[in-house]
Amino acid sequence: MFIFDSSTLILTAKMDLLDLFLSEIGMEVAIPRAVEEECCGAKKTLDALTIQKAVDESRITVRSVRNRKLVLKLEEDFTMGRGESEAIALALQEKAQLVGIDDKHGINACKLSGVPFTTAVAILLRSRQKGLIERNDALVRLSLLARHGRYKSSILEDAKRKLEGQQ
């Protein structure tokens, strides 16, 4: 199972990679309730509608986190929002193979909890590596990540170098 956090799910949708990702991942993709609310709650943006459509079509399942104490502990210990905390708690509950998370505190929580994780940048790089998107298309999508994400310039420069180096 792959579990998305809000920021990674939104960024994947903003770079128009969500549908391709869902068709190629080869495992169940789930989100906790808090992530659904954060992504689809009141917004009617293109990314919110794309995510809602994937949920409505059951390509993304919404799951409840049973251990509310763990969610609160993660929030408190790592100064994270509800979405990040629920995503990690759900990953632990379901023994997920991977969590998509871009939040620095969330990444630290994953490392300390032993939860394997990836980021929106890594999803983009892997999509290119697998030949799912062309190099120029990947570079355009990276510029969208630069615009919408909160990445250090060194992360974006490294990703650009990797993309430019791939044939």
Q: What pLDDT band is residue 44 in, cutting at 50, 70 and 90?
A: confident
Q: Name the residue range of residue 109's domain.
A: 2-120
| CATH code, domain with 96 | 3.40.50.1010
pLDDT of residue 77: 95
pLDDT of residue 66: 96
What digits encode the pLDDT tens for the residues 107-145?
999 999 999 999 999 999 999 999 999 999 999 999 999
**Encoded tokens for 126:** 């892997």
pLDDT of residue 167: 56
What digits encode the pLDDT tens for the residues 64-115?
999 999 999 999 999 999 999 999 999 999 999 999 999 999 999 999 999 9
Structural domains of the chain, count: 1
In the sheet with 29-32, reading across from the earlier edge strand, the strands are 61-63, 29-32, 2-4, 98-100, 117-118
Which residues does 11 contact at the CB level (< 8 Å), separation at least 6? 102, 120, 145, 148, 149
